[in-house]
């Protein structure tokens, strides 16, 4: 019986891609299980609610309150998204709907450069420029003396980091809107802005939600940049000009140094598990929203 090698290769390719897909899913599950097992000692000794709502972080005294780190993480993320979202949206609209080819030819490489820069470069830039600017010009307008290592500084640095990602994703989404829809709107007398607002943005809305969630995941997990510019003070921020201590900075700063303290390693693994859990919930939530939008 003669073997059809084309069918055999097709079957092997199918099985291989299935194994790779299954492996990626199992990898996520393995990460979750590993982080949970490492976090189990502190979860058995302390109540989950106390860990999440207590503000005292004194490992030497056995006090592990994660509220300052959760608050710092969400403050920086919120500021970054509030700054980056409108800028990236309007830039993407301009580049796809208004800009000529000359402008695009120079902007695209700049976006690629910004996206490829390591996070430590953004951290150094924030330390050299944003921190002094906050300390000398912004803080005196509101709270007097300030070191410049604040929530606002971290949010600005993170917003610049995610700008290339959001702009690229938005541009891809807007470019995929069929040209026929634009032409139909323009032929009915709508302006370019009206076409963009009521046709392009509405058509690309589901993809924009996914892009924003991806940017949120990036900001939540950013380590080096926020470590360098946020001050790393374990207190709950009361304003944008207070120092903060995001979860990624906590893990990067302390893992491997004071692990002789009982429960300290488990506490850091619990911090990583919290970050993992929040990102998973965000992505699942975005999938649910996208499904509901598509079904309406």
User: 76 with 246: CB under 8 angstroms?
Assistant: yes
Beta-bridge mates of residue 265: none
User: 244 with 231: CB under 8 angstroms?
Assistant: yes
Q: What is the pLDDT of residues 17-66, one digit of tens each?
A: 999 999 988 998 999 999 999 999 999 999 989 889 898 888 888 889 99
Express as a percent the part of the chain with pLDDT over 90: 33
Q: What is the pLDDT of residues 199-224, one digit of tens each?
A: 999 888 888 888 888 888 888 878 78
Would you say residue 89 has pLDDT above 90? yes
Tell me how far apart the alpha carbons of residues 223 and 218 are, in angstroms, rounded to a whole number.
Answer: 10
- DSSP 8-state secondary structure symbol assigned to residue 261: S
User: 42 with 266: CB under 8 angstroms?
Assistant: yes
pLDDT-derived band at 92, boundaries 50, 70, 90: very high
Tell me how far apart the alpha carbons of residues 263 and 43 are, in angstroms, rounded to a whole number.
Answer: 10
User: 115 with 168: CB under 8 angstroms?
Assistant: yes
pLDDT of residue 3: 57
């Amino acid at each position: 019986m003669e073997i059809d090698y084309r069918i055999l290769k097709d079957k092997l390719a199918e099985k291989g891609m299935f194994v790779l897909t299954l492996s990626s899913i199992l990898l996520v599950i393995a990460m979750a299980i590993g982080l949970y097992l490492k976090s189990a000692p502190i979860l058995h000794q302390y109540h989950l609610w106390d860990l999440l709502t207590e503000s005292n972080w004194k490992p030497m005294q056995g006090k592990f309150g994660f509220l300052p780190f959760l608050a710092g993480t969400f403050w920086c993320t919120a500021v970054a998204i509030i700054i980056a979202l409108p800028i990236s949206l309007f830039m993407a609209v301009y580049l796809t709907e208004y800009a000529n080819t000359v402008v695009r030819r120079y902007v695209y490489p700049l976006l690629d450069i910004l996206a490829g820069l390591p996070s430590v470069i953004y951290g150094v830039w924030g330390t050299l420029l944003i921190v002094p600017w906050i300390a000398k010009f912004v803080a005196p307008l509101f709270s007097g003396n300030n070191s410049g290592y604040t929530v606002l500084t971290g949010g600005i640095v993170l917003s610049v980091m995610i700008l290339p990602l959001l702009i690229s994703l938005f541009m891809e989404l807007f470019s995929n809107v069929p040209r026929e829809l634009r032409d139909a709107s323009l032929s009915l007398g709508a302006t370019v802005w009206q076409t963009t607002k009521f046709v392009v943005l509405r058509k690309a809305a589901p993809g924009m939600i996914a892009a924003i969630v991806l940017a949120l995941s990036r900001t939540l997990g950013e380590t080096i940049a926020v470590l360098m510019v946020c001050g790393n003070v374990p207190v709950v921020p009361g304003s944008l000009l207070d120092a903060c201590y995001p979860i990624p900075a906590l893990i990067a700063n302390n893992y491997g140094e004071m692990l002789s303290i009982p429960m300290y390693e488990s506490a850091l693994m619990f911090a990583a598990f919290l970050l993992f859990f929040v990102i998973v919930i965000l992505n699942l939530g975005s999938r649910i929203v996208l499904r509901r939008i598509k079904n309406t």
